[in-house]
Amino acid sequence: MVAVDDLGDHLRLLADGTRLRLLHLLDAEPLTVAELQETLGLGQSSISGHLAKLKQSGLIHDVAEGASRRYRMRSDVATHLAAAWGAVRGLSADDFQTRADRERLTELRKTNAAGWVDRVAGSLDREYAPGRTWAALCQGLLSFARFGRCIDVGAGDGSMAELLAPRCEQLTCVDPNPAMVAAAVKRIDALRLARVTVLPAGGEAIPLPDACADSVLFLQSLQYIPVPAAALREAVRLLAPGGRLLVLTLVAHDQAEAERFGHRHRGFTPRQLVGWARGLDDVRCEPLPAEPRPPHFQSLVLTARKPE
């Protein structure tokens, strides 16, 4: 049984023609304000006002998508409101206006799809494109990479091992943290990753022979290592002639927030990293673009090669 007051609210919500048109469109597929605006031919403030009311009622919700938001029907609408919407939808589904809106949206889709590539030229890095995620791009590009006998220093819980192992002749995951080591062993076993070893050790003293590695990696781990200069000296020792070093860390910053993540160092300057890569050739050190969200941490990447 529904309280009469609540029923009144539900019916008032659904009695508005614009809101009904919005609901019919969203019932078929999730849409952005711009798409709804174009389809209904109404101004943004009017559409946004109605969407706010529908959102407040619990019929729809929205999810951020690039610079805009996409609205969709909720799957957990309260029973009586869902029943009221179900009844109204049944009565208005074949209405002339509802059908006209759907046809207009289909037309707009065709026009917009044809112009999508032109429209995003110059802003593709901020736009959503299906499948164009950083994870997919990284994994795709990694298919060309070969790491040979690789040592990953500060390897963590093995999440990177999953990516690296297929591109390594042999992978050694070095980490001193017992919880990380246990998680890495568990993950590597579960995934049955071949030729992967987990070595509990600190980066400053790795119990492996000289010149045993074709690549040594530090993937956001240098800022955790108490004596980073010693860890890089160790990396130079472990590299075989022609072997390559990759350090991905943070640019020097003044954010106390980093300590919350267990960092020992507030990033590094290129000068520091280059100085610690002494004895290596082809040393390159470059900052990457800052993260878009505050406090805008910025990564620093160093690559170098052991002389033949």
Ligand X SMILES: C[S@@+](CC[C@H](N)C(=O)[O-])C[C@H]1O[C@@H](n2cnc3c(N)ncnc32)[C@H](O)[C@@H]1O
Phi, psi (degrees; rounded to nearest 5) at 113:
-60, -40
Looking at the Cβ atoms of 116 and 261, the one nearer to ligand X is 261
Looking at the Cβ atoms of 110 and 293, the one nearer to ligand X is 293
The DSSP string of 75-123 is SS--HHHHHHHHHHHHHHTT-HHHHHHHHHHHHHHHHHHHHHHHHHTTT
Query: What minimum distance in Å lies between the beta carbon of 174 and ligand X?
Result: 6
Query: What minimum distance in Å lies between the beta carbon of 152 and ligand X?
Result: 7
Place of tokens 């070095």: 174
Query: What minimum distance in Å lies between the beta carbon of 292 and ligand X?
Result: 20
Footprint of ligand X (CB under 6 A): 153-156, 159-160, 175-177, 180, 202-203, 219-221, 224-226
Looking at the Cβ atoms of 89 and 265, the one nearer to ligand X is 265
As a whole number of Å, the end-to-end CA separation of the chain is 82
Looking at the Cβ atoms of 35 and 175, the one nearer to ligand X is 175
Report the residue closest to ligand X, judged by CB. Answer: 156
Looking at the Cβ atoms of 18 and 220, the one nearer to ligand X is 220
How many other C-beta atoms can be found within 10 angstroms of the C-beta atom of residue 158? 27
- Helix (H) or strand (E) segment spanning residue 231: helix 228-238
Query: What minimum distance in Å lies between the beta carbon of 241 and ligand X?
Result: 24
Query: What minimum distance in Å lies between the beta carbon of 219 and ligand X?
Result: 4
The alpha-carbon radius of gyration of the chain (Å, integer) is: 28
